[in-house]
Structure 1
Amino acid sequence: MEESSNSSEKGFLLLGFADEPQLERILFVIILLFYILNILGNTLIILVSCLAPKLHTPMYFFLSNLSCVDICFTTSVAPQLLVTMNNKEKNMSYSGCVAQLYVAMGLGSSECILLAVMAYDRYAAVCQPLKYTTIMHPQLCASLAGVAWLSGLITSLIQCSLTVQLPLCGHRKLDHIFCEVPVLIKLACVDTTFNEVELFVASVIFLIVPVSLILISYGFITKAVLRIKSAAGRQKAFGTCSSHLIVVIIFYGTIIFMYLQPAKSSSKNQGKFVSLFYTIVTPVLNPIIYTLRNKDVKGALRTLVMRNVLVSENI
Structure 2
Amino acid sequence: MTASTPDSAVTVARVRGRGLRRFARRFLRQRTALVAAGFLLLMVLVALFADVLAPHDPDAQTLRDTLLSPLTDGHVLGTDELGRDVLSRLIHAARVSLLAAVIAVSVGFVLGVPLGLISGYVGGWVDTVLQRITDAVMSFPPLILAIAVIAVLGPSLTNAMLAVGLVFAPRFLRLVRASVLSVREQTYIEAAKTIGTPMPVIVLRHVLPNVLSPMIVQMSLAAGFSLLAEAGLSFLGLGVQPPDSSWGSMMGRAFRELNQQTWLIVWPGLMIVFTVLAFNVLGDALSDALGREIREGNDDE
Please, what TM-score do these two structures have when normalized by structure 2? 0.32
Rg comparison, structure with higher value? 2
Relative contact order: is structure 1 or structure 2 higher (C-alpha 8 Å, sep ≥ 6)?
1
